[in-house]
């Protein structure tokens, strides 16, 4: 590699043997260096342009194919090469599932250092396309260009509505058809773009922090209800009314239309005031027997149908008899708690975000579920011996923490509580495995059920049943 250890270099005929972190292809060269390759599939033999990223990590891009993997498939999305949202769309779904299942097994063994009595086969997602109920799109006055377009001198000034590619906060890929969200998502997005262009509205320039239109958020539920949220940069009521009136006119069946005004330099919308412009203040979706009211800021599982399957796994692992006192940590809007409430005596949910707890209480009331109690606050501060004394020792404890896993204080409190059954739901099995190692002081991992919530991505959920030794 010469003196410049970061200078790119070519590796010829690299055999891709596996999928690795974030869905990159993985292979080792003749010197034993581990190379992670974008858009590669196990079975590919490729020439790779590689560079050292840090320490012993090398990142590569394919320059030439010698052999294409039998597990390769043609991506259905025309934006696949640029977007990066569905990174595994070029790999057969069977191969994706095999990768995810093995990944869960590996991290539990490597990080958790615990034995799992029964590792169940991964649960596939019935729908590999059009499975999300929520998406956010960005307006931009700068279009993301391919290398060929840049070399040919095509300017990137354009009025586009779509997704930011990884690492490009100021440019957007103009999306024609996305295969993630239920229809009529594509019709709505393209219609909104057309209206905005017709009305001569300025699309946002993130680098200069100028322009009018910033974001479009769509929620489309399995019950066919649609919420549209338009985020603008300035409180120009004439422009806001003009575009929203035309949207309502051209897009029939909108259940709820909001707008918000974001003058900040970041795109985070959930700290903004949401102004209801048209229709009702919420949309409805259903998980099992429970109907949820979902507002513009509500936290709700983005794959409704697969969430229902996931929650049924939790119920099956719990094997309720009807007398159980259940704690549900990191409860969000109480979706798990309300789903399982009919199976047990009581469910007590804890969640840090107050708005989510407000939603949980309202949804409990409207579904006539009277055996739940919800508390807002950091789990590590709420879950104390005094709390357990007030609400009774849990027979079953369910925890569904964020990707970072549980705070060490929470893990220690679980060891003190000694719930006979502990069901740990995780969207990042590596942090789940880390917590397994600490919990192994008193618990054994009886079984795990990986669940594919997001096809064509590297993300995976894992449900684990732990029992006191």
Closest CA to 95 of 116, 67, 72, 121: 72
| Residue 467 in this model has a pLDDT that exceeds 90 | yes
Looking at residue 3, its pLDDT comes to: 40
Q: What is the pTM of this model?
A: 0.93
Over 50: is that where the pLDDT of 387 sits? yes
On whether both 108 and 209 belong to a single domain, the answer is: no
Q: What percent of the chain has pLDDT over 70?
A: 99
| Residue 85 maps to a domain | no
Q: Any residues with CB less than 8 A from the CB of 93 and at least 6 apart, and which?
A: 124, 128, 455
Q: What is the mean pLDDT of residues 267-296?
A: 95
Over residues 352-371, the mean pLDDT reads: 96
Whether 1 maps to a domain, the answer reads: no
* Mean of pLDDT over the chain: 94
Domain boundary, last residue among 253, 287, 321: 287
- Tokens 């229709």 locate to 279
In a domain, 79, yes or no: no
Q: What is the 3-state secondary structure (H, E, C) of 360-412?
A: HHHHHHHCCCCCEEEEECCHHHHCCHHHHHHHCCCCEEEECCCCCCCCHHHHH
Q: Shortest CA distance to 248 belongs to which of 238, 258, 260, 237?
A: 258
Same domain? 352 vs 462: yes
Same-domain status, 341 and 454: yes
* CATH assignment of the domain containing 39: 2.40.50.140
Domain assignment present for residue 91? The answer is: no
**Interval 283-302: pLDDT, tens:** 999 999 999 999 999 989 99
Residues 146 and 269 in one domain: yes
pLDDT for the residue 154: 80
Quickly state the pLDDT bin for 5 (edges 50, 70, 90).
low
Residue 83 forms part of a structural domain: no
Domain annotation covers residue 139: yes
The answer on pLDDT for 73 being more than 50 is yes
Number of domains in the chain: 3
Confidence bin at 2 (pLDDT 50/70/90)? very low
Long-range contacts of 146-149 (CB under 8 A, 24+ apart): 146/81, 146/82
From residue 363, how far is each of 156, 338, 339, 371, 405 by CA, in Å? 46, 8, 11, 13, 26
Domain check: are 311 and 459 in the same one? yes
Contact of 414 with 84, CB cutoff 8 Å: no
Query: With bands split at pLDDT 50, 70 and 90, how would you rate the model's confidence at 406?
Result: very high
pLDDT digits (tens, 9 = 90+) for 207-218: 999 999 999 999
At 7 the pLDDT is 86
pLDDT of residue 331: 96
Residue 34: its H or E element: strand 34-37
- Catalytic sites, residue numbers: 427
Q: 241 to each of 100, 187, 188, 238, 458, how far by Cα in Å? A: 47, 21, 17, 5, 41
114 and 138 belong to one structural domain: no
**pLDDT value at residue 146:** 76
Task: Say yes or no to pLDDT of 6 above 80.
Answer: no
pLDDT at residue 1 in the model:
38
Structure tokens at 254: 């909108």
- Please indicate whether residue 148 or residue 36 has the higher confidence score (pLDDT): 36
Residues 178 and 224 in one domain: yes
What pLDDT does 167 receive? 79
Q: Look-up: residue for tokens 């025309």?
A: 78
Q: How far apart are CA 23 and CA 40, in angstroms?
A: 9
> Who contacts 106 (Cβ-Cβ below 8 Å, separation ≥6)?
none
pLDDT of residue 147: 75
What CA–CA distance (Å, rounded) separates 398 from 329?
A: 6
Asked which of 15-24, 123-132, 233-242 is least confident by mean pLDDT, the reply is 15-24
Residues 124 and 182 in one domain: no
What CATH code is carried by the domain that includes residue 266? 2.40.50.1070
Same domain, 421 and 357: yes
- Of 242, 260, 287, the domain-final residue: 287
282: pLDDT strictly greater than 60: yes
Both tokens assigned to 327:
């704690």
90, part of any domain: no
Asked if 283 and 342 sit in the same domain, the reply is no
Co-location of 266 and 389 in the same domain: no
Q: Is-contact 424 399, C-beta < 8 A? A: yes
Domain stop point among 287, 317, 334: 287
Range of the domain at 333: 96-128+303-468
- Which CATH number is 437's domain given? 3.40.50.150
Q: Is residue 43 part of a domain?
A: yes
Same domain, 52 and 111: no
Q: Can you tell me the mean pLDDT for 410-439?
A: 97
Query: In this model, does residue 440 exceed pLDDT 70?
Result: yes
């Amino acid at each position: 590699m010469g003196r410049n250890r970061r200078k790119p270099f070519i590796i010829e005929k690299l055999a891709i043997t596996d999928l690795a972190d974030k869905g990159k292809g993985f292979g080792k060269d003749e010197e034993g260096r581990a190379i992670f390759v974008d858009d590669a599939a196990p079975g590919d033999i490729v020439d790779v342009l590689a560079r050292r990223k840090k320490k012993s990590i090398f990142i590569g891009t394919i320059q030439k194919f010698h052999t294409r993997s039998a597990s390769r498939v043609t991506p259905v999305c025309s934006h696949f090469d640029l977007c990066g949202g569905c990174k595994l769309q070029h790999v057969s779904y069977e191969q994706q599932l095999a990768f995810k299942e093995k990944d869960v097994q590996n991290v539990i063994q490597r990080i958790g250092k615990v034995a799992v009595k029964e590792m169940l086969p991964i649960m596939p997602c019935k729908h590999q396309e059009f499975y999300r109920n929520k998406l956010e799109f960005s307006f931009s006055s700068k279009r993301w260009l391919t290398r060929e377009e840049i070399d040919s001198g095509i300017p990137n000034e354009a009025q586009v509505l779509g997704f930011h590619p990884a690492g490009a906060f100021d440019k957007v890929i103009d999306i024609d058809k996305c295969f993630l969200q239920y229809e009529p998502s594509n019709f709505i997005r393209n219609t909104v773009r057309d209206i905005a262009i017709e009305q001569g509205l300025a699309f946002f320039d993130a680098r200069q922090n100028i322009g009018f239109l910033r974001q479009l958020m769509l929620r489309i539920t399995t019950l066919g209800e649609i919420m549209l949220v338009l985020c603008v940069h300035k409180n120009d009521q004439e422009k806001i009314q003009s575009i929203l009136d035309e949207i309502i006119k051209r897009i029939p069946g909108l259940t709820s239309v909001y707008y918000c005004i974001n003058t900040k330099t970041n795109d985070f919308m959930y700290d903004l005031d949401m102004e209801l412009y048209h229709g009702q203040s919420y949309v409805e979706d259903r998980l099992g027997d429970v109907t949820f009211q979902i507002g513009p800021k509500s936290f709700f599982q983005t794959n409704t149908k697969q969430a229902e399957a996931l929650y049924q796994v939790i119920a099956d692992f719990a094997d309720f008899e009807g007398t159980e006192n259940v704690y549900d940590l990191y409860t969000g809007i109480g979706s798990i708690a309300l789903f399982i409430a009919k199976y047990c005596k009581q469910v007590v949910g804890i969640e840090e975000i107050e708005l989510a707890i407000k939603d949980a209480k309202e949804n409990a009331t409207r579904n006539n579920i009277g055996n739940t109690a919800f508390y807002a606050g950091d789990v590590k501060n709420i879950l104390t011996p005094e709390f357990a004394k007030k609400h009774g020792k849990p027979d079953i404890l369910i925890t569904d923490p964020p990707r970072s896993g549980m705070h060490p204080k929470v893990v220690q409190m679980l060891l003190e509580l000694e719930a006979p059954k502990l069901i740990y739901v995780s969207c990042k099995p590596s942090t789940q495995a880390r917590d397994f190692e600490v919990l192994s002081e008193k618990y054994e991992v009886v079984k795990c059920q990986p669940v594919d919530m997001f096809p064509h991505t590297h993300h995976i959920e894992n449900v684990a049943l732990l029992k006191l030794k």
